[in-house]
Structure 1
Amino acid sequence: MILQNEAPVDSSQTSSKIGIVLVLSAFVIWGLSPLYFKLLTQVSPLEILAQRAIWSLLFLLVILLIQKQFNQIFATIKIVKYRYLLFITTALISTNWLIFIWAILNNYIMEASLGYFLTPLLNIILGVLFLNEKLTFIQKISLILTLGAISIQIFSAQFLGAGPWISLGLATTFGIYTLVRKKIAVSSVVGLSVETLYLFPFALCYLIYITLNQKMIFLTSENISLLLMLGGIITALPLLLFVAGSKYLPLSSVGFFQYIAPTGQLLLAIFVFNEKVDSSKMISFSLVWIALGIYILHTIFQIYQNKNQRKMSRT
């Protein structure tokens, strides 16, 4: 059975506008997600993760039934290679979610945002190591600056704290997750459905365990219960918006939007939750922003240059 992949890019102006709105909405939701998790400070990160997995699975299964793609789950699992690769991605994305939830609940939003700023540049390193991609001179400069930012975080006064390891943990798990998912030719919705399906029995067992030990917060409060149930939608909705929007945009354009989420998280950390900005954090963020700025400008220049070359070849 042939698995359904993403639709081809539609280059029309109207479709591009639709794509921009959808992708922008996805990253804005991701950027504002700390506001949601801060409402669950009395719930343990593991319970939030377990509830998130269960309600996300239910929400995704409804979406797949509406789209008549439910059979894609079984078609995917039947492929031995995908079956085992999705076990790996499940472990990676679950770890990523757990680190992110723990960071938000323990007032490390700024470190979490730095992790997602580092992710695109880590993807470059992974591409070189595992996909035989070649680095340009500009990319090398960006990576040197990024390594400097990481070094400052690790060897700062916070060396014995959790800060640098949150950033590295988030960037590493999501970067490797992205790398492995490239080897799985299924849509993002189907892939996430299989991942949450794998996570479901572990989540259910954990919830049964804390229920028997009278430690489960779910159902002890209507507001908390509703928020935990909404976690499934909050997890899956931005992904669905992202997948739908990315169909209409070139990959290079989509890449520029990925910095909206960590920027939103950083602004929330500083202006809403009053997290302290010390000198090491400012230097680290500055180096990362300079690296990203150089990388983005270089990418824009390459896109512009390629367009001109295509125009010249047609004349």
Structure 2
Amino acid sequence: MHGLILAISAYLIWGGFPLFFHYLSHVAATEVLAHRIVWSFMATLLLGLILGRGRTLRRLISDGHQMRWLFLSALLIAINWLIYIWAVSQQRVLEASLGYFITPVLSLLLARLILKETLHLLQWWAAAFAGLAIAWELISLKTLPWIGLSLAIAFALYGLIRKQHPVDGLNGLTAECLTLLPLTLIWFIWQISFYPATLAFGHNAFNTTMLISAGLLTALPLVLFAMAAKRADLSVVGFFMYLNPTVQFLIGVFVLHEAYPPERQITFILIWIGMLLFIAGMWRQRQQRRST
């Protein structure tokens, strides 16, 4: 039970990210991203040292092969973060939540195509409904839901790399942020040298506190999820993954009052049907594993 509570807490924090980044909408997405990388590195490094994972981190950093793959995964997660931060600032949380509804299905398809993992028939149907939702969006609104698709593709590829090159979540994120620090430092030097007036950090206490907190908020649900995975069956924890986009969707509609075309209601209905089929497929697979 404690494991499930920790998992639900992690998913609820992830789902609440639109509220946090909404208060940073006045800050350029690139600056928010840069600070998120820096302060995420500081937060995860400190937590890792407190939890006694310093030796493991040193071994990881000295492994050149692993670090090259983590640099690639870091670029993917940075792209995901940047698009998401920008989407929230542009009042497009609903489109972002669509991406996180699609991500688990896309991850399964990548696992099937690349890792040759088997899928339950219900999960194939889930993929079909996700594809139908995207097709409906294209036909009804004459545009691809590029925000959702970009977020889903970046995160699914990120998950694929991390699955093929497994590292614990905390040290993994520390190492990923470490690989991005040189690029982040170059960006800061460029901004300070040529566009210092555009920087929000240090402008007032609110901006500075919120930008620092972006790193802390990134680390917290990661630690909670890692604790949950140790205390509960990961397949059970996975059933709650849709809490994240569901909370994002509810925040977008009822808190941020985002307007959206009526046609998008059909999109989400199709996605929710796919979500139920996906969860049912996971449950059936779990039952089959138990019986063998």
What SS is found at the alignment partner of 2:199? coil
Number of residue pairs aligned between Structure 1 and Structure 2: 290
Residues 119 and 172 of structure 1 are in contact (CA less than 8 Å); yes or no, is this contact kept in structure 2?
Answer: yes
Is 1:164–2:122 an aligned residue pair? no
Give the counterpart of 1:252 among 193, 210, 235: 235
Name the amino acid aligned to 1:191. Answer: G
Residues 18 and 248 of structure 1 are in contact (CA less than 8 Å); yes or no, is this contact kept in structure 2?
Answer: yes
Residues 207 and 216 of structure 1 are in contact (CA less than 8 Å); yes or no, is this contact kept in structure 2?
Answer: no
Name the amino acid aligned to 1:165. Answer: W
Cα-to-partner distance string for 1:233-266 (whole Å, 9 max, x where unaligned): 0111111111111111112111111101100110
Name the amino acid aligned to 2:180. Answer: L
Residues 229 and 237 of structure 2 are in contact (CA less than 8 Å); yes or no, is this contact kept in structure 1?
Answer: yes
What SS is found at the alignment partner of 1:257? coil
What SS is found at the alignment partner of 1:155? helix
Residues 158 and 164 of structure 1 are in contact (CA less than 8 Å); yes or no, is this contact kept in structure 2?
Answer: no
Is 1:143–2:124 an aligned residue pair? no
Is 1:18–2:15 an aligned residue pair? no
Q: Percent identity?
A: 36
Give the counterpart of 1:175 among 149, 152, 156: 156
Question: Mean Cα displacement is larger for which, 235-244 or 73-82?
Answer: 73-82
Question: Mean Cα displacement is larger for which, 89-98 or 297-306?
Answer: 297-306
Report the structure number with the largest CA radius of gyration: 1
Structure 2 Cα separation of the partners of residues 91 and 306 of structure 1: 35
Residues 126 and 277 of structure 2 are in contact (CA less than 8 Å); yes or no, is this contact kept in structure 1?
Answer: yes
Residues 45 and 171 of structure 2 are in contact (CA less than 8 Å); yes or no, is this contact kept in structure 1?
Answer: no
Structure 1 Cα separation of the partners of residues 36 and 11 of structure 2: 19
TM-score w.r.t. the length of structure 2 is 0.95
Map 1:145-294 to 2 at 5 A: 145-157=129-141, 159=143, 164-212=145-193, 213-214=195-196, 215-294=198-277
Structure 1 Cα separation of the partners of residues 263 and 16 of structure 2: 25
Name the amino acid aligned to 1:220. Answer: H
CA RMSD between the two structures: 1.5
**2:103 alignment counterpart:** 119
How much has 1:119 moved relative to structure 2? 0.5
**1:3 alignment counterpart:** none
Is 1:297–2:280 an aligned residue pair? yes
How much has 1:91 moved relative to structure 2? 0.5
Residues 35 and 214 of structure 2 are in contact (CA less than 8 Å); yes or no, is this contact kept in structure 1?
Answer: yes
Structure 2 Cα separation of the partners of residues 137 and 128 of structure 1: 12
Name the amino acid aligned to 1:246. Answer: A
Structure 2 Cα separation of the partners of residues 266 and 249 of structure 1: 27
**2:42 alignment counterpart:** 58
1:32/1:225 CA distance change after superposition, 3 Å: same
How much has 1:229 moved relative to structure 2? 0.7
Structure 2 Cα separation of the partners of residues 33 and 286 of structure 1: 23
Cα-to-partner distance string for 1:142-182 (whole Å, 9 max, x where unaligned): 211111111122333251xxx70000000000001001001
Gaps of 5+ in 1: 1-16, 311-315
Residues 120 and 281 of structure 2 are in contact (CA less than 8 Å); yes or no, is this contact kept in structure 1?
Answer: no
Name the amino acid aligned to 1:70. Answer: G
**1:45 alignment counterpart:** 29
TM-score w.r.t. the length of structure 1 is 0.88
How much has 1:217 moved relative to structure 2? 1.0
Residues 101 and 242 of structure 2 are in contact (CA less than 8 Å); yes or no, is this contact kept in structure 1?
Answer: yes
What SS is found at the alignment partner of 2:140? coil
